Amino acid sequence: MLSQTHIIFSQAAFYTACAASGHVPQWWEALLCAFFSLFPADVDHPQSLIGRALPFLSRPVAYWFGHRTLTHSLLAQVVVCTVLIFSTSTAVWLPIMVGWVSHSIADMMTPSGVAWFYPSRVRCVLPGHYDYRISIGGTGEVIFGALMLGMIALMFPYSGSGQGTTGLIRQSIGDVAAAREQYDQQRVGFQWFVEVEGINKDSLKPINGKYKIIAGEGESGFILETKGKDKAHVIACQTNSCEWYLSKARLHKGQAEHVTVFEYNSDQTDTKTLLAELGSTGQNSDVFLIGEATTKEGEIIKLNYDKTTALDGLTIKSVRLKIQARHAPKLAPKFALQSDVENTDDSNLSPYLAKWLR
């Protein structure tokens, strides 16, 4: 086959292999795969693109071994693959092997086939009937190339999911536990959204839509941003304890996002100061509060990924808070208030050490 068809086929095979295996491809891996779809296989062909680039290698190989023999052989591929698997990472061996093996398979589809089991000179062909094979540079090769371009377009979006075949099947049927598992594995560094189907347990109305994930909840649930007037978030899962019962969930990755956490513990704070500071922290970020606040009247308000609006109208006296600010990668927020309580409930750190770590 022509060099360009080999490159196109190698890319289709590479993105398919990534989607199936769960390896997330990088652009340079695709380039590596394209290069190895020509080299070393067509070194044995002095008129090919790679043969013309490396005539000092190409002529002796063509003379001693002939075309489509050693450099296209399964034996050479298995030996090199074994060495690479034990000496490099998936990011290196996968594109190299997919590129190289795809070359041999593509050549099998041509009338003269490949001596894939070299040193045996028997030619392997695919498919067996001569009339169904693709003559080099003919209409068949153009159609094959076009089909493989379509395959690249189809597989490229799936290849980045990193879920592998099983994960993709579970996602396509909307498995809630699978969505949560993927979220736990990949959540760091990005915003995440989830497309859900289910039922509101209070109103019994059906739920169908795409929501931003605030955090995971329990075993396989989510805390979702709802932008409701009275409620900023909702707990959704597959047990009876949640506000929304989910029957289906599909994850979608959003923009890059970093998380900065501030700890604030105080016995002498007030609502106005705290809200003003949270307001300036939240200028370039989304702020969530985790912990508890105690009012002057002694009422304890539990906060679980609540927005700052949860404190509106309260007269707060003391707080034990983790303030989570989610922001674009380069916009690190600040929080100026200093804790006046050294020990926190969930920290076993000595106050002396904590002082230096804060």
Under the rule (CB under 5 A), what is the footprint of Zn ion? 41-42, 107
Q: Tokens in use for 53?
A: 């680039």
CB of 17 to Zn ion, least distance (A): 20
CB of 140 to Zn ion, least distance (A): 16
Query: Containing H/E element for 144?
Result: helix 139-159
Nearest-angstrom CA–CA distance, 226 and 317 = 29
Helices (H) and strands (E) in the chain, counts: 11, 9
- Three-state DSSP class for 353? helix
Nearest-angstrom CA–CA distance, 318 and 67 = 81
CB of 67 to Zn ion, least distance (A): 7
Nearest-angstrom CA–CA distance, 197 and 18 = 29
- Three-state DSSP class for 289? strand
Q: Closest CB to Zn ion among 42 and 175?
A: 42
CB of 234 to Zn ion, least distance (A): 58
Residue 54 dihedral angles phi and psi, to the nearest 5°: -125, 60
Q: Are 117 and 124 in contact (CB under 8 A)?
A: yes
Q: Closest CB to Zn ion among 38 and 303?
A: 38
Q: Closest CB to Zn ion among 43 and 196?
A: 43
Q: Closest CB to Zn ion among 71 and 163?
A: 71
Question: Distances from the Cα of 294 to the Cαs of 160, 218, 250, in angstroms?
Answer: 46, 25, 38
CB of 12 to Zn ion, least distance (A): 17
Q: Closest CB to Zn ion among 37 and 171?
A: 37
Residue type, 147: L
CB of 6 to Zn ion, least distance (A): 7
Q: Are 93 and 84 in contact (CB under 8 A)?
A: yes
Q: Closest CB to Zn ion among 71 and 266?
A: 71
CB of 261 to Zn ion, least distance (A): 56
From the list 225, 231, 235, 243, the residue with the least C-alpha distance to 309 is 231
Q: Are 79 and 15 in contact (CB under 8 A)?
A: no
Q: Closest CB to Zn ion among 118 and 288?
A: 118
Question: Which residue lies nearest Zn ion, judged by its C-beta?
Answer: 107
Q: Closest CB to Zn ion among 42 and 277?
A: 42
Residue 324 dihedral angles phi and psi, to the nearest 5°: -105, 120
CB of 104 to Zn ion, least distance (A): 7
